[in-house]
Amino acid sequence: MTLAAEHQLHAIQLFEPDGETVYSIEAAAHIAQVTRRSILVYYKHGLVSPVGDPEGGGYYFNDEAIRTLRRIEYLRSQCSISLVGIRMILHLMNEVEGLRAEARFSRQ
What residues contact 54, with CB distance under 8 A and at least 6 apart? 43
Domain of residue 102 covers: 3-107
Buried b (16+ CB within 10 A) or exposed e, 81-105: bebeebbebbeeeeeeeeeeeeeee
Q: Which tens digits make up the pLDDT trace of 35-92?
A: 999 999 999 999 999 997 777 778 999 999 999 999 999 999 999 999 999 999 999 9
Q: How far is the C-alpha of 108 from the C-alpha of 97, rounded, in Å?
A: 17
Q: Structurally, how many domains does the chain consist of?
A: 1
Q: How far is the C-alpha of 102 from the C-alpha of 32, rounded, in Å?
A: 30
pTM of the model as a whole: 0.75
What residues contact 11, with CB distance under 8 A and at least 6 apart? 70, 71, 73, 74, 78
- CATH number, domain containing residue 62: 1.10.1660.10
